[in-house]
Amino acid sequence: MRSTVWREVAESPNLTGIAGPRVRFQCLDANHKHVVLGANTGSLYVFARTRADGPSPFGPDADAPEGPLRFMTVVSPPRQPSDDAAKDDPADDARTPQSAFASRSRGVSPAIRRIKLSPRGDRCAIAYATGVLNVVEFRPGVERRGGSPKVIVQIPKAHVSADVTWLEWSPDGTRLLSGDDKGRVGVTEFAKGSVVANTLALGSAVAQASFSASGLMAALCTNEAVDLLSVPTGVHPKVGTKPREGPYGGCFHVLARDAITPRNNPGSQPESEWMLAARPGRRLWVAAAWLEGGEGARGEPRSAVAATLKPDVPKGSRAPGAPEPKPGAKSRKWEFGRLHPLGRTCVLSVAERALAVVEVPGGSLLEWCPLGEPGSVGIAAGVASAAAVDARALLL
């Protein structure tokens, strides 16, 4: 096994030189070509990823060292709905681009809380501190510096007065999941020139969401449980029978089934898709998920927990910015967190107290780093935002 290689691709002084001393970056996302950073000013900063040996974009099998980020452009925020509803267009759940700019009073732009690039990289979902969600056309290199993007749709009501905690695109880029700290989940569908936005209520803050490879199901992870969502119908029963207090993480993974022995689980179905779910603490669930009955893709969502894994915990590694360990000192308690597919065989776990890489076949913990230890700075002090692209993770 190769140990984790850390590389700083953007230093704080360089970012301050680009954005200014008052700008604070709140979140990030990335794809093979770009890294985008959302700021407290409501602006989106776009950077090109580079190889240490050249500017070519990365592919799934690229193994070249990561080079420094190259600044491309800053995208100004579009207008937000005004405080006076009478001055805005009728409050639809999903607004067209024409009504997205209806506000006559711009005021101070709200901070960006979450951002997510679409699978093709041509759209970016942006969640603001007001709870407003914009989906914009994303064309790096085309927008002029400081220009406003073209808003495809604005969803002003799904997360009103809430903090958006997660954004996730379906594999084909036609649906967007958005979750908030009030337990609401928005399901926005882009199809045939129209946009439809629906809202579900889970009753607990959303920690993570993950689509299955087919795009027909999604794992909705909250501070109490994991729900399995049938995307076409909106039905979302719980996975497992023992809810626990604390944030759950979860993701579908092509090799999740290989984490259990024997592989033939009597509770699953031939058409099952497999997922990992992180319970609060040190355990992982491996579960099969499928749609049963109904016509086409409109069956009832079903799941079966095939195994509960408790991997052995090796000695912790040091993340960048971690202090020298003191003799006899105990590190913070290990825990799983949000799960991000990392390459073909692994997942990245990001929690408040630990960062880890888990090998999915066999469910073994390859490496982990404690976070938030006294005296820590940088990444070792805590991860504000993370994005996994193939076998690499970018952390803020």
Residue 141: which CATH number?
Answer: 2.130.10.10
Is there a domain that residue 209 lies in? no
Structural domains of the chain, count? 1
- For 143, the 3-state DSSP assignment is coil
Please name the residue that has the structure tokens 């759940």.
Answer: 93
Please name the residue that has the structure tokens 């649906």.
Answer: 175
Is there a domain that residue 206 lies in? no
What pLDDT, on a 0 to 100 scale, did the predictor assign at position 222?
95
Is there a domain that residue 112 lies in? yes
Residue 189 belongs to domain spanning? 9-54+64-79+108-201
Is there a domain that residue 193 lies in? yes
Is there a domain that residue 340 lies in? no
> With a threshold of 0.85, does the pTM exceed it?
yes
Structural contact between residues 82 and 88, judged by C-beta atoms closer than 8 angstroms: yes
Is there a domain that residue 272 lies in? no
Tens of each residue's pLDDT in the chain, 396 residues: 456 778 888 887 778 788 888 899 999 999 988 999 999 999 999 998 888 776 555 554 456 788 889 898 888 876 655 544 444 443 344 554 433 333 334 456 799 999 999 999 889 999 999 999 999 887 765 544 545 567 888 888 889 889 999 999 999 999 999 999 999 999 999 877 677 888 999 989 999 999 999 999 999 999 999 999 999 999 999 998 777 788 899 999 999 988 876 654 555 576 789 999 998 788 888 999 999 886 667 789 999 999 888 889 888 888 889 988 777 666 667 789 999 999 999 999 999 999 999 999 988 999 999 999 889 999 999 999 999 999 899 999
Is there a domain that residue 371 lies in? no
- Chain centre distance of CA 220: 12
Is there a domain that residue 327 lies in? no
